[in-house]
C-alpha cells in the first residue's frame, strides 16, 4: 500500500510519460556517453560512478531506465525499480529494441522488495532522490547495499528549488521561498518533491551510515541551450548558479 504522496507522484509520471518521456526514451537509450542532468554534463569529466563492471546496481526511480542501460553496457548488472507502470513499459520496449535485458521491478523506492546487502551501487537520477522522502529511501539504499557500497544520486540544486516560481516558469534571480520549507514541496500542478538542504542531506546520509565522498554542483556548459521540456531554468541562469547537485557517498564497512 503506497502513501498519498507516492500515489500523487505515480499519477504525475503517467502524465509525463505520455507527454514526453515515452517519445524521448529511445534517444536517451541510444546515447553513447553517460551524462548528468538537464545540460548533459559528461560523467567522463566527473568520474563519480567509477568502474562499474561486475557491480550489482539498483536504480531507484529508474523511469525509462536509460541510466541502467548505460551501466549494463559498461558491464554492470543493473536492476531498475520504479513505481510507475507506464515508465517501466517504455523501459521494457527500449530493452527489446536495444537487445539489452535486465530486471525491471514495479515498487516504491521507500519500501524496496529486495533482501538486505545485495547491491554494490545504488543510483538515482532525478528518481527517488527527488520524489521520495529522504529518511525513507536513503534508509532503504543503506539496507540493500553491501558494506562499503556506494550511493550516487542527482537532484535539483537547493538554489534552483528556492528560485523557481510556484506556477510554471523558469528560476528567477531572487529567492521565492524559504529554505525551511524545502523539505517537502507540493507543486500546484501536482506532484510532491523532497528537497533537503545540503545540511539535511549530510545529516540523513550520516544517520544511515554513509560517508559523503563528493558533492558536484552542476552548471550549464558555455555553449548550452535552454532545455525545452524540463523548462525550469534558462541556460544563462545555469551558467551562473548550479542547477543540480550530484552526490556520492559510501556506506561504512
Ligand atoms: C525523472 S524520472 C526518472 C529518471 C530517469 N532517469 C528518467 O528520466 O527516465 C522520475 C521517476 O521517479 C519515479 N518515482 C516517483 N516516485 C517514486 C517512488 N516512490 N518509488 C519509485 N519510483 C518513483 C517516477 O515514476 C519516475 O519514473
Q: Is 37 in the pocket of ligand 1 (CB under 6 A)?
A: no
pLDDT, position 1: 85
218, β-bridge pairs: 244
Q: Is 157 in the pocket of ligand 1 (CB under 6 A)?
A: no
Q: Is 63 in the pocket of ligand 1 (CB under 6 A)?
A: yes
pLDDT in tens, 113-124: 999 999 999 999
pLDDT, position 28: 97
Of the candidates 64, 65, 55, 69, the residue with the CA atom closest to the CA atom of residue 98: 69
Q: What percent of the chain has pLDDT over 70?
A: 100
Task: Say whether pTM exceeds 0.85.
Answer: yes
What residue's CA is closest to ligand 1, atom 8? 63
pLDDT in tens, 7-63: 999 999 999 999 999 999 999 999 999 999 999 999 999 999 999 999 999 999 999
Q: Is 34 in the pocket of ligand 1 (CB under 6 A)?
A: no
Ligand 1 centroid to Cα of residue 128, in Å, is 6
CA 25 to chain centre: 15
Q: Is 156 in the pocket of ligand 1 (CB under 6 A)?
A: no
Of the candidates 100, 119, 8, 14, the residue with the CA atom closest to the CA atom of residue 60: 119
Amino acid at each position: 500500500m503506497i502513501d498519498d504522496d507516492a500515489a500523487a507522484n505515480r499519477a504525475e509520471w503517467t502524465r509525463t510519460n505520455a507527454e514526453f518521456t515515452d517519445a524521448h526514451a529511445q534517444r536517451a537509450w541510444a546515447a553513447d556517453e553517460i551524462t548528468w542532468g538537464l545540460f548533459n554534463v559528461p560523467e567522463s569529466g566527473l568520474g563519480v560512478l567509477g568502474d562499474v563492471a561486475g557491480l550489482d546496481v539498483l536504480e531507484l526511480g529508474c523511469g525509462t531506465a536509460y541510466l541502467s542501460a548505460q551501466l549494463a553496457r559498461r558491464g554492470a548488472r543493473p536492476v531498475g525499480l520504479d513505481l510507475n507502470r507506464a515508465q517501466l513499459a517504455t523501459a521494457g520496449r527500449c530493452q527489446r529494441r536495444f537487445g539489452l535485458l535486465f530486471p525491471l521491478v514495479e515498487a516504491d523506492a521507500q519500501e524496496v522488495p529486495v533482501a538486505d546487502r545485495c547491491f554494490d551501487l545504488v543510483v538515482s537520477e532525478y528518481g527517488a532522490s527527488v520524489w521520495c522522502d529522504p529518511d525513507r529511501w536513503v534508509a532503504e539504499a543503506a539496507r540493500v547495499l553491501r558494506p562499503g557500497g556506494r550511493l550516487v544520486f542527482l537532484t535539483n540544486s537547493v538554489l534552483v528549488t528556492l528560485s523557481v516560481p510556484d506556477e510554471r516558469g523558469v528560476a528567477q534571480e531572487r529567492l521565492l521561498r524559504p529554505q525551511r520549507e524545502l523539505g517537502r514541496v507540493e507543486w500546484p500542478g501536482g506532484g510532491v518533491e523532497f528537497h533537503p538542504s545540503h545540511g539535511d542531506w549530510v545529516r540523513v546520509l550520516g544517520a544511515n551510515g554513509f560517508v559523503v565522498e563528493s558533492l558536484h554542483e552542476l552548471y550549464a556548459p558555455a555553449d548550452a541551450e535552454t532545455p525545452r521540456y524540463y523548462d525550469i531554468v534558462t541556460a544563462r541562469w545555469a551558467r551562473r548558479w548550479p542547477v543540480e547537485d550530484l552526490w556520492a557517498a559510501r556506506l561504512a564497512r
